Amino acid sequence: MEVIHSIADLRSRISEYRRKNDGSVGFVPTMGYLHEGHASLLRKARSQSGLVVLSIFVNPLQFGPGEDFERYPRNTERDLEVAEAAGADLVFMPTVSEMYPTPTRTTVAVSGLTSRLCGASRPGHFDGVATVVSKLFHIVQPDQAFFGLKDAQQVAVIQQMVQDLNLPVEIVPCPTLREKDGLAMSSRNVYLSDEERKQALVLSQALDKAKEFVQSRPNFHAAELENLVTSHIASAPLAVIDYVEVLAFPSLEPFENSTHTDSIILALAVKFGKTRLIDNVILQLRK
């Protein structure tokens, strides 16, 4: 495994690989502080690609004022161990000034999909995501890129961008990984106090309840599902709900009823203290 800091070096290593090999290039873009969820993306990339490229870059563009850019957790040494164990070949770790040598004037914006959920709570967030992902795609030029479905809206936004801009890359969405007790894995879980960590279990519990509810009822209203989830989360005294929302998936359009869509997402964002957690479940509807 090789650690690379400059764009020019990364490009020359990848084009060298392309010249000498027929295998595909698989890419896993991350913000580091790798957990088992990231490792599962790397293993998936390893199983499908000749060359596995991991990027670790905490992108300032996707953090709003007052968000956690400065204190976002970092642990390079452990990241490199996880990356190597999961099969990465190249780890790209650029500085902010390598990625943004001059203030960027160019923005890639995806409308519609970004007006709800985290797009509403975090204005500009998905512009920052789409812009940096398009930069990384231009640098790495991967055949496949692997993204975790915990960030389901991010996956939908990136798939829309790839389709609209004819980016020559296949997006591979991968399932959310969870701790044994159900909490979705996230680099931000490290922020939680013991008590917050305990109470945060209501999130996955609420999603399980929603799954059962939908399985037992062929017809239901989005509001019923949202109420069920909201009231379970509200049973945790430290939980402050940002949103609980049911939308059609992957369009992220409002969900009316099961005759108009085959698949829905129940997505939520909840704060415990200063820590904002997101989670979701994608449900196939019975017809």
Nearer to its own copies among residue 160 and residue 199 (C-beta) = 160
- Catalytic residue list: 38
State the Rg of the chain over Cα.
19
Judge whether 187 is annotated as a binding position. Answer: yes
Q: Is 287 in the site for its own copies (CB under 8 A)?
A: no
State which of residues 4, 45, 53, 161 lies at the interface with its own copies (CB under 8 A).
161
What single-letter DSSP state applies at residue 178?
B
Residue from 53, 167, 246, 270 in contact with its own copies (CB under 8 A): 167
Q: Identify which of residues 111 and 216 has a Cβ nearer to its own copies in the complex.
A: 111
Among 216, 250, 243, 218, smallest CA distance to 229 is for: 243
CA dihedral 95, 100, 102, 105 (to 10 degrees): -170
Helix, strand, or coil (residue 286): coil
Peptide bond into 250 cis (omega under 30): yes
Judged by CB under 8 A, the residue of 30, 49, 59, 131 near its own copies is: 131
Please identify, among the stretches 74-82, 164-172, 207-215, 273-281, the one whose residues bind its own copies according to the rule CB under 8 A.
164-172
Looking at residue 258, the DSSP 8-state letter turns out to be: T
Q: Which two tokens stand for residue 60?
A: 């300032």
- Between 47 and 86, how does the x/- string for binding to its own copies read (CB under 8 A)? ----------------------------------------
Q: Count CB atoms within 10 A of the CB of residue 229.
A: 26
Query: Quick one: tokens of 120?
Result: 């509403």
Q: Rule CB under 8 A: say whether 216 interacts with its own copies.
A: no
Task: Tell me: is residue 185 an annotated ligand-binding position.
Answer: yes
Query: SS3 letters for 166-177?
Result: CCCCEEEEECCC
90 binds its own copies, rule: CB under 8 A = no
32 belongs to an annotated ligand binding site: yes
Q: Which two tokens stand for residue 207?
A: 């999603």
25 lies in the binding site for its own copies (CB under 8 A): no
Query: Does the annotation flag 144 for ligand binding?
Result: no
* Binding segment (CB under 8 A) for its own copies, from list 135-143, 206-214, 242-250, 275-283: 135-143
Which CB atom, from 47 or from 107, has the smaller least distance to its own copies? Answer: 107
| Angle ∠(145,266,210) on CA atoms, nearest 5 | 130
Q: Which residues sit opposite 25 in a β-bridge?
A: 51
Q: Please identify which residue in the block is written with the tokens 């500085």.
A: 95
If one asks whether residue 7 binds its own copies (CB under 8 A), the answer comes out as: yes
Residue ranges that bind its own copies, judged by CB under 8 A:
7, 11, 102, 104-113, 130-131, 134-135, 138-139, 141, 160-161, 163-168
- Residues that constitute the known binding site for (R)-pantoate: 62, 154
